[in-house]
Amino acid sequence: MIGYNEEKIRLGFVGLGKRGKDLLRLLGDMPDVEITAISDLYEDRLQEAARQVAETGKSAPACFTNYREIIARKDVTAVIIASSWTSHSEIAIAAMRAGKPVASEVGGAASLEECWQLVRTYEETGTPCMLLENCCYGREEMALLRMVREGIFGELLHCQGAYQHDLREEVAMGVENRHYRVHNYLHRNGDVYPTHGLGPAAKMLNINRGNRLTKLSSMSTKTRGITEWARRNLGAEHPVTLTDMVLGDIVTTMIQCANGESILLTHDTSLPRPYSRGGRVQGTKGIWMEDGAVIHIEDRSPAHAWEPFESYLHEYEHSLWADYLKDGVRGGHGGMDYLCLRAFVESVLKKTEMPIDVYDMAAWMAVTALSEQSIELGGTMLPFPDFTNGKWMNRPQGNFTTYAL
């Protein structure tokens, strides 16, 4: 059963755009969480967020436009980061150096050095750092994780994941709406948002704990979708209409793993399409596909035929989700946001290992920087850094807590 702690965590919260406000709302409803300080570059967002916290019946937080003032406060014991992608690592490193456990929203790294700095800071300070990859806590993903661990798919060989989401309006209107995504699309060509697809696959494949990512190759299409959308909807003189995006409309990345498995990632957000994370899990005994919600397990499924995944979902319901469904699912993205935040809160209060730790964070985010380099070099296969420095070979699976992955 999902419960709360007697001790409270006092959070500093950085970044109050749409995503930040959604997370803040979930945290504000947790009895063992106090939001003591918040930070954003924009004053109107600060005031709106302060009112949001106060409406929960808790004390209004202190407000700052400089995140360093939050990190320096004695009444902040941990930090949540929901700011723009390229600021995540800088803030996380500052929090770790201040001895404050930190959780960061997802996004890709701008450089491999950024990833190494995260790892080195953690190893120097011992301060925990977690990536808030909510898709690892999705109901289907956790049922599949249980099935993988119980050998239902046999030995895994291949996984696929993606971020496939029509974001043409969000990107084209980015400047007007003060959204940072557009600046990445204007200047970067790579998988700029890899962790939704990679995170669940990495956990199933025991990446950084007996396995690791070893090499990567990426390719990109030309760019058309956002400019065409802007021309039709914003007019011929709109800046986005007059400026080509650098980011290709579809970016595909193939990754090799040390134990011989492969992972295929797709970034597809600039064309008309329904939302999908394009999941696929395939082993020696069967295959699951997200699109169509279908599965085939040898000697159980009809020969050469798909079955609906729904019955398997109920049969292999993860224990965390079984309790969650009884207690009442809450929050955005089907409830996984709440579970991901609870994983961080519980890990801090109970002083357990982060379920998505700094080594995971560095490896998953590194896909962005590596994919940019690979595309620039015509799809060249590039070696993947070992951010564990060899520890992946015998790192244990970690604490067997409620939220462990």
What is the per-residue pLDDT for 42?
Answer: 96
What is the per-residue pLDDT for 181?
Answer: 95
Write out pLDDT tens, residues 32-77.
999 999 999 999 999 999 999 988 888 999 999 999 999 999 999 9
In the chain, CATH 3.40.50.720 covers 9-134
Which numeric CATH code is attached to 9-134? 3.40.50.720
Q: Which of 123, 206, 261 is nearest to 396 (CA)?
A: 206
What is the per-residue pLDDT for 400?
Answer: 66
Burial of 57 (0-12, 13-18, 19+ CB in 10 A): exposed
Question: CB under 8 Å to 345, separation ≥6 — which residues?
Answer: 5, 9, 27, 30, 32, 33
Q: Which residues are registered as beta bridge partners of 320?
A: none
Q: Which of 132, 117, 130, 9 is nearest to 82 (CA)?
A: 132
What is the per-residue pLDDT for 8?
Answer: 95
Helix crossing, 112-125 with 88-97: angle to 10°?
A: 20
Long-range residue pairs from 83-86, CB within 8 A, at least 24 positions apart, any chain:
83/14, 83/15, 83/17, 83/20, 83/40, 84/15, 84/180, 85/180, 85/181, 85/184, 85/192, 86/110, 86/180, 86/184
What is the per-residue pLDDT for 1?
Answer: 61
Please tell me whether residue 237 adopts helix, strand or coil conformation: coil
In the chain, CATH 3.30.360.10 covers 136-317+358-393
84-94 as b/e: b if 16+ CB within 10 A:
bbbbbbebbbb
Rounded CA separation 144/150 (Å): 10
* C-alpha to C-alpha distances, 361 to 106, 154, 383, nearest whole angstrom: 9, 27, 18
Rounded CA separation 295/282 (Å): 10
What is the per-residue pLDDT for 68?
Answer: 98
**CB neighbourhood size of 273 (10 A):** 12
What residue has token string 């290992």? 353
Q: Consecutive sets of 10 residues in the chain, 405 residues long: mean pLDDT of each? A: 88 96 95 97 95 89 97 97 97 98 98 98 98 98 98 98 98 94 96 98 98 98 97 96 95 98 98 98 98 98 98 97 95 94 96 96 98 98 98 84 87
Rounded CA separation 105/14 (Å): 10
What residue has token string 């998505």? 356
Domain covering 136-317+358-393: architecture = 2-Layer Sandwich (3.30)
Write out pLDDT tens, residues 130-157.
999 999 999 999 999 999 999 999 999 9
Q: No. of H helices and E strands in the chain?
A: 15, 15
Rounded CA separation 99/313 (Å): 40
What is the per-residue pLDDT for 236?
Answer: 96
Return the percent helix, strand and coil in the chain, to nearest 5. Answer: 40, 20, 40
What is the per-residue pLDDT for 396?
Answer: 83
What is the per-residue pLDDT for 273?
Answer: 98
Q: Which of 356, 404, 340 is nearest to 30 (CA)?
A: 340
Strands 262-268 and 250-257: antiparallel
Question: CB under 8 Å to 346, separation ≥6 — which residues?
Answer: 5, 352, 401, 402, 403
What is the per-residue pLDDT for 235?
Answer: 96
What is the per-residue pLDDT for 309?
Answer: 98
